[in-house]
Amino acid sequence: GDSVTQMEGPVTLSEEAFLTINCTYTATGYPSLFWYVQYPGEGLQLLLKATKADDKGSNKGFEATYRKETTSFHLEKGSVQVSDSAVYFCARHQAGTALIFGKGTTLSVSS
């Protein structure tokens, strides 16, 4: 069935390092794709999204490009900060209603 697969964590980086969190999906057609973030002690919130192939979503220095050729939506940031420590979830829409999430990747950034 349709699914979302993201790299397992935890990912541990030093401040100012480059971040990539891989995400691939299976789907019929071209669903909208999302990255959600869950900061410690807070609720899940939308980080960025892309609604069609080749779109690039961006927010707070994070970027992800919708690649239909590789069915991927990898999350990147050029220079991470301690405040970016959180759990990141890749997601896609299912039949225009609910979201299908990956299992989440924990990022820990140290100063």
Partner 1 sequence: GAGVSQSPSNKVTEKGKDVELRCDPISGHTALYWYRQSLGQGLEFLIYFQGNSAPDKSGLPSDRFSAERTGGSVSTLTIQRTQQEDSAVYLCASSLAGGPDYEQYFGPGTRLTVT
Strands 105-110 and 11-14: parallel
Q: What are the φ/ψ torsions at residue 76 (nearest 5 degrees)?
A: -135, 150
- Using CB under 8 A as the binding rule, whether residue 97 contacts partner 1 is answered as yes
Greatest CA separation for the chain: 42
- Using CB under 8 A as the binding rule, whether residue 100 contacts partner 1 is answered as yes
Candidates 20-28, 57-65, 76-84, 98-106: pick the segment binding partner 1 (CB under 8 A): 98-106
Q: How far is the CB of 18 from partner 1 (least distance, A)?
A: 25
**Integer Cα distance of 77 and 58 in angstroms:** 10
Nearest to 64 by CA among 28, 95, 91, 94: 91
Candidates 18-26, 40-48, 57-65, 75-83: pick the segment binding partner 1 (CB under 8 A): 40-48
Binding residues for partner 1, rule: CB under 8 A, are: 31-32, 42-46, 49, 51, 89, 91, 93-94, 96-104
